[in-house]
């Protein structure tokens, strides 16, 4: 366990509601330190897998921000996260990654499966396209597995474990998750240190990355004891991510058709499969695995339960696409299953040059 740095301001916040006008006696610092150690003991027991708990000036700044200035939004993150918490923590533990990395997803996306950043990072864990593909998440005009909470959490856990193996520090692993491995290698080389805080002091990290670990620590601290900071969360969470299992179904089948066969309500499978962009299994696949409530996959194997296919899946695709950072004309063409030549012809382009925000026609309006 690393040395704890707990300033008086932090003690004041931890001791009670950050916005309360009532004056309460502060608990003894050693009591708070003991609480933190007890909470850390719930993380993976091997010493090398623990995330060090440190409260310093940088962390305190983000505690203040989340608990006071950004209070309403942060509370929505806490509430939304509880729906996924058990599922995410179980997957992290399966990969021998500290369970409290759950809070990394909180600062990445606020647990929104449809979250998309200015850099075109997508999903709860905010994977960019290249890293998503590297960790096995497929993407097409019909499919973006970065939006699948289960697949993305498995990928994030493997990625974080790989980063920890390379850098030997969970702080540097998180920094690399944010900035990329190359930037952290360069920062270590220039700063001549593998201590995250030393690299911050030497100003060799990007500004966003310098704040990334303190934001994680602040979210972690508040998330451990939300009531101490005045967040009134329900004692019993009414709804949690359900137990699910994979079901193999044909390509080009709508989720509502699958729900009908299973006797489920329309649109009930969409929240379990947010990665199916248009609500159908990818037509380019002979079969595809989707998530269904546990115990129901076997019903789809019965011969008397045929699934009707969507006859013209292309009609569900958008007519236009807005160019994002990192896009290339070739990648856009491949994603929308159109030849590069056809895409250029549709848009009257003489070259492969495109710009962010450009609106491109990706199929004829009459189709």
Alpha carbon 70 to its chain centroid, in Å, reads: 20
C-alpha 270/C-alpha 267 separation (Å) is 5
Residues known to be catalytic? 108
C-alpha 163/C-alpha 99 separation (Å) is 16
Task: Catalogue the E-assigned strands of the chain.
Answer: 244-250, 287-293, 320-322, 359-361
Give the bridge partners for 127, in sequence order: 122
Tokens (6 digits) for 1:
């366990």
Q: How far is CA 162 from CA 120, 166, 340, in A?
A: 23, 6, 36
CB 53 within 8 A of CB 46: no
C-alpha 92/C-alpha 155 separation (Å) is 10
C-alpha 216/C-alpha 211 separation (Å) is 9
The residue whose two tokens read 């070739």 is 330
């Amino acid at each position: 366990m690393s040395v704890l740095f707990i300033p008086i301001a932090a003690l004041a916040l931890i001791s009670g509601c950050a916005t309360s006008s009532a004056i309460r006696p502060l608990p003894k610092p050693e009591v708070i330190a003991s609480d933190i150690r007890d909470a850390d003991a719930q993380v993976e027991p091997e010493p090398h897998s623990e995330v060090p708990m440190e409260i310093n000036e940088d962390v305190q700044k983000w505690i203040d921000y989340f608990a006071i200035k950004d209070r309403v939004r942060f509370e929505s993150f806490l509430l939304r996260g509880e729906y996924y918490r058990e599922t995410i923590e179980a997957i992290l533990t399966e990969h021998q990654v500290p369970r409290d990395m759950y809070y990394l997803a909180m600062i990445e996306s606020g647990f929104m499966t449809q979250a998309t950043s200015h850099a075109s990072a997508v999903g709860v864990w905010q994977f960019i396209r290249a890293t998503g593909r590297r960790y096995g998440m497929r993407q097409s005009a019909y499919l973006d597995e970065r939006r699948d909470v289960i697949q993305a959490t498995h990928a994030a856990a493997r990625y974080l474990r790989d980063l920890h193996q390379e850098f030997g520090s969970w702080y540097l692993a998180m920094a690399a998750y944010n900035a990329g491995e190359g930037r952290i290698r360069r920062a270590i080389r220039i700063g001549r240190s593998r201590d995250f805080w030393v690299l911050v002091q030497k100003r060799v990290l990007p500004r966003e990355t310098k704040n990334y670990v303190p934001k994680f620590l602040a979210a972690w601290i508040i998330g451990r004891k939300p009531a101490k900071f005045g967040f009134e969360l329900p004692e019993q969470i009414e709804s949690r991510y359900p137990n699910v299992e994979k079901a193999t179904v044909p390509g080009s089948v709508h989720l509502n058709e699958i729900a009908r066969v299973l006797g489920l309500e329309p649109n009930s499978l969409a929240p379990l499969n947010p990665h199916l962009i248009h609500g159908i299994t990818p037509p380019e696949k002979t079969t595809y695995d989707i998530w269904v409530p546990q115990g129901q996959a076997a019903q789809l194997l019965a011969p008397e339960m045929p699934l009707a296919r969507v006859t013209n899946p292309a009609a569900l695709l958008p007519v236009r696409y807005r160019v994002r950072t990192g896009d290339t004309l070739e990648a856009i063409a491949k994603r929308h299953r159109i030849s590069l030549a056809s895409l250029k012809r549709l848009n009257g382009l003489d070259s492969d040059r495109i710009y962010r925000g450009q609106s491109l026609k990706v199929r004829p309006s009459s189709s």
